[in-house]
Amino acid sequence: MSKVLKYGMVGGGPGALIGDAHRRSINLDGKAQLVAGCFSRTYEKTLQMGKELGIDEDRLYENFEEMARKEAEREDGIDFVCIVTPNNSHYDACKAFLEAGIHVSCDKPLTTTLEDALELERLAKEKDLLFLVTYTYSGHVTAKNIREMIAAGEIGEVRTVMGEYPQGWLAEEDVTGNKQAEWRIDPNLSGKTNSLGDLGTHIENTVYQMTGLKVKRVLSKMEKIVPNRKLDDNSVVLVEYDNGASGVYWTSQIAIGHDNGLRIRIYGSKGAISWFQEEPEKIFLSKLDGSNLEIHRGHGCIYEKAARYQRLPSGHSEGWFEAMSNLYSSFIDCLVAKAEGTFDESMIDYPTIVDGIDGVKFIEACLASQEKGNVWVDM
């Protein structure tokens, strides 16, 4: 295997959001090159996108089944695939590539049912393939540094967590013409949830990556506030973690004034940490003695395990693209090591299929809590 890997993409056609972001993020480090794609369900759009990206026409496919089969047959076939389609097609697309023996990166939420998520895990294990789930925010250097700070005991034992992810972009009923909005509010494409699956899984995973705490049980109130919405657009979830600590998560798409307001506040027995993804270069640390510290990425106070992902000195902003690149950087290093026979699981520093499954379990537990009349439900 060459050290510059070859990858393919499913989804990410003209005007798509996250596929473009994946491509740009992978390009940052030059560790993999895009050589194949099925960017849309419409072949003309795949051809158009492929031409823009300079991909040979014989590697542009009409559907992902054909792509998985033909790429697996090629001597120079792709080393991994990125699945960046709406939620409803993640399972079938991931399955096709796993069955063909190709490593997978898939965006969140992993699948629309737990059964499907567990089947993908079984397949990945059977085929001995690596699986990245792109929970972007856990890739920030500062998010990784919070993980190190908490593991080192800087805030003591975690007692309670506040996680919020408010957006205001779906506050109006009519979303006609907004491609990303149209599928998110449609149960056939989005699955059984909207805001909770789209945003709540980010909170669930970011908190887990930072604290190491797994959610034990949840009590949710999932609301459909905008008239004629079929799926939740505002949700509040009470959470209990495996160490007995509590949490409150809020996700919203009707919170006018907010863009991508993922904010995590973690309170421990010796201190507290606050982090806001729209200002991802900073961590706020409060201590019992009343002191407050603003920690900036790029300085010597960042732990080595986080600092190794930095590309720029302090004050030269790094952000969302870099966070996504950091996930791919570790994933691709692991793929290269696997091919060279030097891989071991301790090298993994990205969210895996287990994180993807936890996200789906979180969604299903919240749905069950809502259906049963807002009661506690075990994960």
Please give the residue ranges that form the binding site for ligand NAD (CB under 6 A): 10-13, 16-19, 38-41, 64, 84-87, 89, 107-108, 134, 136, 179-180, 183, 198
User: For ligand NAD, which is the closer residue by CB, 113 or 180?
Assistant: 180
β partners of residue 7: 34, 80
For the CB of residue 257, give the shortest distance to ligand NAD in the complex, in Å: 20
User: For ligand NAD, which is the closer residue by CB, 19 or 163?
Assistant: 19
Name the residue among 122, 107, 98, 147 with its Cα closest to residue 275.
147
User: For ligand NAD, which is the closer residue by CB, 86 or 271?
Assistant: 86
User: CA 209 → CA 165, 264, 310, 350, distances in Å?
Assistant: 16, 12, 18, 9
Give the other-Cβ count within 10 Å of 212's Cβ: 14
First and final C-alpha spacing in the chain = 40
User: For ligand NAD, which is the closer residue by CB, 85 or 377?
Assistant: 85
For the CB of residue 132, give the shortest distance to ligand NAD in the complex, in Å: 11
Kindly write down the DSSP assignment for every residue of 12-64, as one continuous string: --TT-SHHHHHHHHHHHHTSEEEEEEE--SSHHHHHHHHHHHT--GGGB-SSH
User: For ligand NAD, which is the closer residue by CB, 21 or 255?
Assistant: 21
For the CB of residue 354, give the shortest distance to ligand NAD in the complex, in Å: 17
User: For ligand NAD, which is the closer residue by CB, 183 or 376?
Assistant: 183
For the CB of residue 109, give the shortest distance to ligand NAD in the complex, in Å: 6
For the CB of residue 76, give the shortest distance to ligand NAD in the complex, in Å: 22
Task: Report the alpha-carbon distance of residue 227 to residue 213 in Å, rounded.
Answer: 37
For the CB of residue 107, give the shortest distance to ligand NAD in the complex, in Å: 4
